[in-house]
Structure 1
Amino acid sequence: MSLLVGVHEVSNGNVLSLGANSAWSSQLALGGALASCTLFLLALMPALLFCFEVSPWAAVFCATAGYALQNLASGVGEAAALVLDAAGMPGIVVGGTPWLTIGACAAIYVASYLLFIRHVDPKGLEGRGNPAMLAMIVVVVFGIIGFDLILKYVVTGSLPVRIVLYLRAFHALICVFVIIVEVELVVVRQLSSEKAAAERLLAEQERQYQLSRENIEAINIKCHDLRHQIRSLAAGDGTVDKDVLESVAREVNVYDSKVRTGNDALDTILTEKSLLCEGRGITLTCVADGESLGFMAPADLYALFGNALDNAIEAVEHLNDAARRSTSLIVRRRAGTVTIHVENYYDPTASAKSFKGDVPASTKGDPLNHGFGTRSMKAIVERYGGTLAFSANGSTFCADAVIPEHA
């Protein structure tokens, strides 16, 4: 009897030991699988950056959303296999598991494309992303991958099929939730970009309207002065005052001051700004090789130089010292590049006194509707593969761009 009891105790001890070893092995397998899947997810992001011309935010979106979509399809396939097995068709399940997986993937991918993916504008992934996208990495690792591995290594086979199917449905809901959240983040980013673009367009239209009014007013004033001087000459006694003729010549020269740089678009913007400076008592000095900018679109030239000169004019027009009410522009070729240098004086207490990142902060106190000019300039220069830098030393403000010369 004692021998039987001893054998029974030894047998129970072996069973408990085997059970503990089995549980420990399952935990090790679960941890190893989670670590390998996490590393694979993290490796996907630099791989996407290497293989495609996408931003880091786009890589995060594609990796996490793709992983969620794959887990959703895999989970649906496994749930279908469990249902068929419970229905008494194990032969179909064993022989048709690959077809179940392929069918589930095809159905989920098509449905996801129709419901979510086709509504995503790639432009919404560019530029500054939403930091909330980084939280999706943690959710995917623990909420999707971790949960899926627990179902495979721990739950399936130890719980009733009904409970496993409930857990699989919950896992599918997590996958769908992650996909919806990520698509919403991209859509919100896209809407924010469209709103910012609309605000920039409205601000630019208002600015152009004000400039056009000022130019028309300047022309009207000149015409008014010319009319009075012509009347004075007509009412004279036959002798013409030399000073009057010189005054008329100066007035006419304003309209014959077309800038000629070899680039029609640049000539247009510089002539317009020259007239604006003439009306405001500002000296504009220009030395520009317009032919070197022939590779740039006229609209980009107008926006780049228009914003640069408008900022310079705005900075100097309020200076009391007439000698400092001046701005200069230099455009020239140098070692396979085109350099652009805009320099002007400024009042440190009123303008260009701080930088937001690498661009000057708006001085108008309304960053929502102002400050687009410098960001627009930077975007244009970078679009052509160049760099734009701003600097202020306490008395002068400079904007320097270096753009590779395109063939």
Structure 2
Amino acid sequence: MVYATRATLLFVEVMIAACLFAHGQPTRPHPWRRAAAITAAVFAAGMLTPCINVFLQIPDLSNYHPGALEYGLGYALVPMLITCSLFLLVTIPSLLACFEISPWAAIFCATAGYSLQNLASGLGETVGLLLTAAGVPGIVPGENAWLTAISCAATYVVAYLLFIGRIDSKGLEGQRNPAMLAMIVVVMFGIIGFDLILKYVVTVSLPLPIVLCLRLFHVLICVFVIIAEVELVVVRQLSSEKAATERLLAEQERQYQLSRENIEAINIKCHDLRHQIRSLAAGDKAVDKAVLENVAQEIDVYDSKVRTGNDALDTILSEKSLLCESRKITLTCVADGAALDFMAPADLYALFGNALDNAIEAVEHLDDAARRSISLIVRRRAGTVTIHVENYYDPTASAKSFKGDVPASTKGDPLNHGFGTRSMKAIVERYGGTLAFSANGTTFCVDAVIPERA
């Protein structure tokens, strides 16, 4: 019972510290129930551990005190190191069960949390040694639960106020830094192992000033590990922000080029119309009916505004229709824009803009005029809104492979290209929908299904 209680308290201390680092992350349903169930499982495992120790003839270390090395240093400390390391490893799946985070983020929270718990424990040990040296009765370093509780509470609060609370919670999103694996080894041996040696070896064999210096060194190790892990997260976040900024600049450059092409197309049309109007205004010959029909067709290009029932969708489709017309591409659109009123205009522009830009890029280099066409369909179906974009493509130049479930970029710079499809997928999933890409060798399709909202 004593061993199980101590093990459970240690696990609770580590989990609280790890949850501090996981602040701001989305939780899974009923996180408190999940945490309580995991804690109960740890307590049950602690109850079984003494029986396993007896079976394996491992000495009972539940009442192990400093200086009690009758079993030998290695035989006594190795099981304790393994046990404490298991608590670290168990914390990782426990965090995954309570928070919607990646395994790498769980490793960060677990190792940083264990380092913080060890820092608090070490400070409590130091205070206990000082109180014992001062002759305060009833103080046994490492054995006073109230002293450990006060030390953990004070250390956690100070750490949260100083730096944990200031860490951007978005820094853990998509955290995939393999360096976190090295932190498990560092925490196991550099922090846990050193702490055990200080508790059960150095404390009784060296003078108090030297012990205090070693305790200070242990505190510095804990602080260094925590800072190093936080730096890994911050550097990763800064890299992501830099990449996002560069992608934004690339997108702005692309939009600028498209706007230039639209303006050039308008200037060409206006130039042609001006010559035709001058020819009509001369009045020295009868008006050719074919010329009038040609003028009417030119004007129809700008008068035929797309009307779907959604202003944002009308805007993007009108712009892309003009772009397609200038590039001799046929854009066929059948869209119930009113079904997409629940989506933000910016999301609609990004979703349809990327889809149509990719389709235009795929068909504009095709030699067969009959295949230079794009089809867009938006309609309601069984409580959902379906979006279908279809176009021909050259299989030797585009849509050759998929990276995960999105098409791999055909451009040489993956940093500034290929993010359009990921952006489309993120937008659709944000509204609870699914987005799928498919290619069969002749046509490329984009299909989205989004739950309809009132």
TM-score band, normalised by shorter chain: 0.7 to 0.9
1:182 aligns with 2:206: no
Structure 2 partner of 1:43:
90
Q: Kindly name which structure, 1 or 2, has the bigger radius of gyration based on alpha carbons.
A: 1
Relative distance call for 1:147 and 1:24 in structure 2 (3 A) is same
* AA partner of residue 124 (structure 1): G
Q: Secondary structure at the match of 1:285?
A: strand
Corresponding residue number in structure 1 for 2:241 = 194
Alignment match of 2:427 (pick from 380, 383, 392): 380
- TM norm structure 1: 0.86
Counterpart CA distance in 2 for 1:290 and 1:47 is 45
Which of 258, 262, 265 is residue 305 of structure 2 equivalent to? 258
- Which of 137, 143, 167 lines up with 1:91 in the alignment? 137
> Are 2:272 and 1:272 aligned?
no
Q: Which amino acid aligns with 2:163?
A: F
Partner Cα separation in structure 2 for residue 324 and residue 355 of structure 1: 23
SS of 1:353's partner is coil
Separation in structure 1 between the aligned mates of residue 104 and residue 336 of structure 2, nearest angstrom:
39
2:128 is aligned with 1:78: no
Q: Is the 8 A contact 2:428 2:435 kept in 1?
A: yes
| Percent identity between the two aligned chains | 80
Count how many residue pairs are aligned between Structure 1 and Structure 2: 386
For residue 304 of structure 1, give the secondary structure of its aligned residue in structure 2.
helix
Task: Deviation per CA, 1:18-60: give whole Å up to 9, x if none.
Answer: xxx9643875664444344333333333333333344433332
Answer whether contact 1:57 1:126 (CA < 8 A) is retained: no
Shift of residue 314, structure 1, vs aligned partner:
0.9
1:406 paired with 2:406, answer no
Farther off after superposition, 269-278 or 394-403: 394-403
1:359/1:390 contact within 8 Å kept = yes
1:117 corresponds to which of 161, 164, 170: 164
Q: Distance in 1 between matches of 2:343 and 2:246?
A: 25
Moved more, 364-373 or 147-156: 147-156
| Map of 1:360 onto structure 2 | 407
Answer yes or no: is the 8 Å Cα contact 1:390–1:399 preserved in 2: yes
Q: What CA distance in whole angstroms lies between the structure 2 residues aligned with 1:312 and 1:128?
A: 32
Give CA deviations for 1:307-339 in whole Å, capped at 9, x if unaligned: 110111011111111111111112222333322
Distance of aligned partners of 1:22 and 1:174 in 2 relative to their CA distance in 1, 3 Å threshold: closer
Quote how far apart the aligned CAs of 1:185 are.
Answer: 0.9
* Whole-angstrom CA distance in 1 between matches of 2:279 and 2:345: 44
Q: Residues 384 and 138 of structure 1: is their aligned pair in 2 closer, same or farther, counting only changes over 3 Å?
A: farther
What residue ranges of structure 2 are gaps of 5+ in the alignment? Answer: 1-67
Give the corresponding residue for 1:18. none
SS of residue in 2 equivalent to 1:363:
coil
Residue aligning to 2:375 = 328
SS of structure 1 residue aligned to 2:204: coil
Corresponding position: 1:143 with 2:190: yes
What is the CA-CA distance between 1:381 and the residue it aligns to?
1.7
Letter in 2 for 1:83: L
Structure 2 distance, partners of 1:128, 1:65, is 14
**Unmatched 5+ residue regions in structure 1?**
1-20
Read off the aligned partner of 1:394 and give its amino acid letter.
G
Q: Work out the CA distance in 1 between the residues paired with 2:205 and 2:382.
A: 73
Q: Secondary structure at the match of 1:388?
A: strand
Equivalent residue number for residue 63 of structure 1: 110
TM-score, length-normalised on structure 2?
0.78
Provide the C-alpha distance between the structure 1 equivalents of 2:302 and 2:112, rounded to a whole number of angstroms: 61
- The reply on whether 1:298 has 2:345 as its aligned counterpart is yes
Whether contact under 8 Å (1:332, 1:339) holds in the other structure is: yes
